[in-house]
Amino acid sequence: MPPVPNFQLSIVNVLLNSEGSPLAFVSDSDYDARVYAAIASNIWSTFDKNGKNLMREDNLKFMLVECEKGNVAITMVSNMLLCLVATPDVELGILKAKTDALAKHLEEPFQRVTAYTQA
């Protein structure tokens, strides 16, 4: 029988602002969410800054950080970051698909929030 895909997917979902403070998260422990948020934000901003210099002002769209005991997907939604953490048995393509789907779902309402906060 073919292996059944793991649809439980991510173990932690964090939505954070560009400074790395979590705005909302789904996680067993708030400590984990805060750690993921802080490090994800740092990784994104460092790569985005250096990538812009090297990639002809091209913006960073998505990042996938693969570790021995889990994978982290990071993407930008409006001016916030969305970070998904999954166990290694979740296929990277599925993780990216879920991140893209969540980002697409959140983009429109968050643009309104951004417009409101900047007004």
Partner 1 sequence: MEGLKAVTVTDRDGVILIKSVSNDVSQRVLEPALSTTFAVISDQASKLGLKKNKSIVSLFGIFQIVQFNHTPLITTLVADSDSNTGVLLDLGDELKEITDIISSALSDRQVI
Residues contributing to the site for partner 1 (CB under 8 A)? 32, 35-36, 39, 42-43, 46-47, 50-51, 53-56, 58-72, 85, 92-93
How many alpha carbons fall within 13 Å on the CB side of residue 54?
7
8 Å CB contact between 43 and 63 = yes
CB of 116 to partner 1, least distance (A): 28
Question: Between 28 and 116, whose beta carbon lies closer to partner 1?
Answer: 28
Of 9 and 43, CB closest to partner 1:
43
- Distance in angstroms (rounded) separating the CA atoms of residues 55 and 80: 22
Nearer residue to partner 1 within complex by CB, 64 or 113:
64
- Given a contact cutoff of 8 angstroms between Cβ atoms, the answer to whether 40 and 102 are in contact is no
